[in-house]
Amino acid sequence: MNHKESVQRHEKMYKQMRDGGGAKRREAQHAKGKLAARERLDLLLDEGSFIEQQPYAVSRSTDFGMESKRFLGDGVVTGTGKIDGRQVCLFAQDFTVLGGSLGEMHAERIADAQRLALKTGVPFIQINDSGGARIQEGIHSLEGYGKIFHNNTRASGVIPQISVILGPCAGGAVYSPAITDFVFMVDGVSNMYITGPEVIKAVTGEQIDHEGLGGAAVHTGTSGNAHFKFSSEQECLEFLPKFLSYLPMNNMEDPPWVETDDPVDRSTEELSDLLPADGKRPYDMRDVAEMVCDEGSFIEIQSDYAQNQIIGLARLGGRTVGVFGSQPFFNAGTLDIDSSDKVARFIRFCDSFNIPLISLVDVPGYLPGVGQEHGGVIRHGAKILYAIAEATVPKISLIVRKAYGGAYIAMSSKALGYDRVLALPTAEIAVMGAEGAANIIFRQEINEAEDPEKKRAEKIEEYQKGVMNPFIAAGYGLIDEVVGFANVRRELVRSVEMLIRKHDTLPWKKHGNIPL
């Protein structure tokens, strides 16, 4: 073969490789409101930054007619690129090739990109759009998933991993996203389920469509498997760079510092208007987070799931922080099974990636109820205690109003490991609410009184006045500072700054055994 022929062959192969499943299948993809794999990468990455790995890999399967279905690249595009100038490794499955199904070489390409991300210490982004294990390749597909799950797990806590589901993600394929840190989904486009509607109908008789079974609303609202829901692919891929800007490249680095125009000593006096004088009336803790953090920096995560606790990333004086807090609007901001899982996993993410933690506390306790007890609230609730005690990043607590019982310990106790505990003048710290406490400790006195109801009211007030203020705990050194409304932002920024060089290590262990 002469040079000209070699060049022609190269051109032909290149064109073929770029073409994936062909123009007709790309059009079908567009007709479903979906982009093709390379179009997605173009939208996400800085122009000209993509470097592809192994683009000519092909399936070597000959089973079930596979020798006539060989596509260069094997249905996935993998490699590295830059987002806002910062490197990432990534893959995008190509649904136009055998439905993006995962065969041996497809899996090998993904695994290679994962290894590259880990070797180079950069975030890993996986764009899923696949019918799952390639049925024709049988056991090789299953082994391929095994390899990917293994790599996801090894990379967990070392590099940030984000799954973007832009199509079906069926069968065992769902477990790779489930191991990653964050899952993004698009309404009407993304589906995740272990067994599809047909199998469910055959096994249990239940009837449901793909969206109702595993659409974005289900996983961001009901199951908690996903973290963000978008209305279009474009919106999703445009949000990803903003989200990444809060994260470090890997666990050895700090998150990027981002200059802010918001004065660090800006007054937060409006907090006094936000917090209702009546301690039983709710308010939106997200307003508190937005008020105290750098303007416009608070990004809520899992906003539709376990809404009695909020979690999110924000910046304080330009530094990324992880905020979690009680949401008085939902179930009075209690901790329960789902919110404990949500908060604990978020704490562990932040701790893995050197992100200081801020808890915003207005919590009456763990949610009472037979369903909660039988559902394992003891085990689930323990996760927050474990995650906080284990976290070595700076941990700052701001008690806004109630901090009662076990939930006080979880969200603001110095003994558990909070480095700095701040309280607003409105803070109430107690084993339980005044009513419950008075009924127990003054039971005899109340029952024996001439007018038990009057006595009860007196005793509740006595307990409230005597115990439920921040200065009792402050007197024991359990609160570091009682902060006026106006100074909350300034105090939080200063607290993060003072703790940023914190160094703490755990006793040597292979790993702990968090109650799962």
Binding residues for ligand HXC, rule: CB under 6 A, are 98-99, 101, 131-135, 142, 145, 168, 170-173, 196
Alpha-carbon distance of 253 to 158, in angstroms, equals 10
Name the residue nearer to ligand HXC (CB basis): 196 or 333.
196
Cβ 168 to ligand HXC, closest distance in Å? 4
Cβ 72 to ligand HXC, closest distance in Å? 17
Cβ 104 to ligand HXC, closest distance in Å? 13
Determine whether 57 is an active site residue. Answer: no
Residues in Cβ contact with 186 at an 8 Å cutoff, skipping those fewer than 6 apart: 165, 166, 216, 229, 230, 231, 232, 233, 235, 236
> Which listed residue (279, 406, 436, 484) is catalytic?
406
User: Angle CA(185)–CA(144)–CA(227) in degrees, nearest 5?
Assistant: 20
Name the residue nearer to ligand HXC (CB basis): 171 or 328.
171
Name the residue nearer to ligand HXC (CB basis): 103 or 255.
103
* Sheet strands (E) in 69-217: 76-83, 86-93, 124-130, 161-170, 182-186, 191-193
Half-sphere exposure in the Cβ direction for 130 (13 Å, CA)? 34
Determine whether 171 is an active site residue. Answer: yes
- Do 325 and 285 meet the contact criterion of CB atoms below 8 Å apart? yes
- Do 94 and 21 meet the contact criterion of CB atoms below 8 Å apart? yes
- Do 162 and 180 meet the contact criterion of CB atoms below 8 Å apart? yes
Tokens standing for 452?
């038990």
Cβ 62 to ligand HXC, closest distance in Å? 15
- β-sheet bridge partners, residue 420: 396
Cβ 178 to ligand HXC, closest distance in Å? 11
What are phi and psi for residue 357, nearest 5 degrees?
Answer: -110, 140
Name the residue nearer to ligand HXC (CB basis): 169 or 367.
169
* Sheet strands (E) in 394-480: 395-404, 420-423, 428-430
Return the closest-CA partner of residue 297 out of 273, 331, 279, 321: 321
> Which listed residue (121, 138, 172, 436) is catalytic?
172
Residues in Cβ contact with 409 at an 8 Å cutoff, skipping those fewer than 6 apart: 385, 415, 416
Classify residue 56 by its DSSP letter.
T
Name the residue nearer to ligand HXC (CB basis): 133 or 323.
133
Name the residue nearer to ligand HXC (CB basis): 135 or 213.
135
Cβ 19 to ligand HXC, closest distance in Å? 16
Determine whether 407 is an active site residue. Answer: yes
Conformation bin of residue 99: beta by default, left when phi > 0, alpha when psi is -120 to 50: left
> Which listed residue (407, 430, 437, 438) is catalytic?
407
> Which listed residue (20, 144, 171, 317) is catalytic?
171
Cβ 136 to ligand HXC, closest distance in Å? 6
Residues in Cβ contact with 62 at an 8 Å cutoff, skipping those fewer than 6 apart: none
Name the residue nearer to ligand HXC (CB basis): 150 or 465.
150
- Do 422 and 384 meet the contact criterion of CB atoms below 8 Å apart? no
Cβ 138 to ligand HXC, closest distance in Å? 10
Determine whether 172 is an active site residue. Answer: yes
Name the residue nearer to ligand HXC (CB basis): 98 or 306.
98
Residues in Cβ contact with 14 at an 8 Å cutoff, skipping those fewer than 6 apart: none
CA distances from residue 365 to 55, 337, 405 in whole angstroms, order as listed: 55, 12, 6
Q: Which residues are catalytic?
A: 171-172, 406-407
